[in-house]
Amino acid sequence: MTLPDQTPFVPSEVEGYRPSEAEASNVAGSRLRSNLVPRLRSGRTDRGGKVTELAPLAPLVWFKSGGTAEWLFEPKDMADLQAFLRECDPATPVMALGLGSNMIVRDGGVPGVVVRLGKAFATARRRDETTLDCGGGASGILVSSTARDNGIAGLEFLRSIPGTVGGFVRMNGGAYGSEVRDVLIDCDVVLRSGELLTLPVADLHYTYRHSELPEGAIVVAARFRGRLGEPAAIQAEMDRISEAREASQPLRSKTGGSTFKNPEGHKAWQLVDQAGCRGLQIGGAQVSEKHTNFLINTGDATSADIEALGEEVRRRVKEMSGVDLEWEIQRVGMFAGASNKMRVGNK
Ligand SMILES: Cc1cc2nc3c(=O)[nH]c(=O)nc-3n(C[C@H](O)[C@H](O)[C@H](O)COP(=O)(O)OP(=O)(O)OC[C@H]3O[C@@H](n4cnc5c(N)ncnc54)[C@H](O)[C@@H]3O)c2cc1C
């Protein structure tokens, strides 16, 4: 089986942008590995999970761009997920996908298996008076509303992060002065081997928007601790956060959230703005006019356009301020052929 076009993509018209050595070797490695999924067939697993070959990922991610998953696996339940991973060739790369709200899926697609947790994992329930048990596929809205209904304060910030528990735990998602490491007790992960393991928060070695979750591990559940609170006050805080969001971020756009991590002592959006990148456009990708640390797909952007735009912003910021911006958005998969829509310039 082959993926569409696996030629490494170099947007040569964007001065200064070249895939790094690591990216280039990742591309080559992926091409080799992508034939290592011999036992899979599209259809249902014995336990009722769904396996799809060459599944388009663009509809499943916020940017609405990018290629296919070599295999997309939507487990029916935990036992299905464990059995699937146990039986899958150990050489097969496995990647979890949440709501794709922090992800660029490259146009050449993702080799191996992409795991997307469904309904069985979209749960949140009270454990005790300040603690919630959540499934790895539960949304921030579900978690924060369940906390409110049970009089648990401190999880309101999750209301505004459009992702799943798995993505929050992996990314140490945060907003308005709180982040996951402040509220996570522990999480359950299914390892690449199929083994189920509980990891206490300390084992994730959290730093800003980063965890040391084992490679290929799928977060299937997490326990969060808040504090006693009044549902009405919790709701008021959720409303305040939602309004602040609405005013400052392009929430109705095809975007990937904050593009770059805030460098020590700086705000990424300010550096991007100072470098003159507000509204900068490459193909169908644009630096948001509303929030300069957001990139948006204005309609027909390829993932190559979006990534090239991010690299161009990094180049300009480095030139202007000497700061190296680090990507926060996860860029996954392989490059495809060069886009014929490459243009650089402010709108
Ligand atoms: C409009 C907008 C606003 C945003 N605001 C914020 C913000 O304020 N704060 C913030 O922190 N982020 C923000 N983000 C980014 C994003 O919502 C978070 O990073 C979120 O945690 C991603 O969750 P997800 O489930 O969509 O993960 P995805 O984007 O699907 O994946 C992100 C990473 O998590 C991994 N992952 C996903 N699910 C699992 C799982 N079950 N097990 C293991 N790994 C998994 C993926 O492999 C990938 O590496 C924003 C995004 C958008 C579009």
Instruction: Output the tens digit of pLDDT for each of the chain's 347 residues.
Output: 332 333 222 222 233 333 344 334 343 334 434 444 546 788 899 889 999 999 999 999 999 999 999 999 999 999 999 999 999 988 899 999 999 999 999 999 999 999 999 999 999 999 999 999 999 999 999 999 999 999 999 999 999 999 999 999 999 999 999 999 999 999 999 999 999 999 999 999 999 999 999 999 999 999 999 999 999 999 999 999 999 988 888 888 999 999 999 999 999 999 999 999 999 999 999 999 999 999 999 999 999 999 999 999 999 999 999 999 999 999 999 998 533 333 334 33
Q: Is 276 exposed, middle or buried (0-12, 13-18, 19+ CB in 10 A)?
A: middle
Which residue's C-alpha comes closest to atom 36 of ligand 1? 167
Other CB atoms within a 10 A radius of the CB of residue 205 amount to 11
CATH of domain 120-245: 3.30.465.10
DSSP secondary structure letters along 166-206: HHHHHHT-EETTEEHHHHEEEEEEE-TTS-EEEEEGGGG--
Probe target for ligand 1 pocket from 62, 97, 169, 187, with the most ligand atoms within 8 Å of CB: 97
| pTM for the predicted model, two decimal places | 0.88
Is there a contact between 55 and 153 (Cβ–Cβ < 8 Å)? no
Instruction: Read off the tokens for 307.
Output: 């990534």
| CA distance to 64, 147, 306, per residue, from 310 (Å) | 16, 36, 6
pLDDT at 250: 87
Q: Which of 209, 223, 278, 316 is catalytic?
A: 209
DSSP letter for 119, please.
G
Architecture in CATH of 21-119: 2-Layer Sandwich (3.30)
Nearest atom of ligand 1 to the alpha carbon of 99: 26
pLDDT at 200: 98
Under CATH, what is the fold of the domain 251-346? 3.90.78
| Cα(169)–Cα(180) distance, integer angstroms | 6
Q: What is the dihedral of CA 190, 74, 127, 202, to 10 degrees?
A: 30
Question: In the chain, what are the domain boundaries?
Answer: 21-119, 120-245, 251-346
- β-pair partners for 330: 103
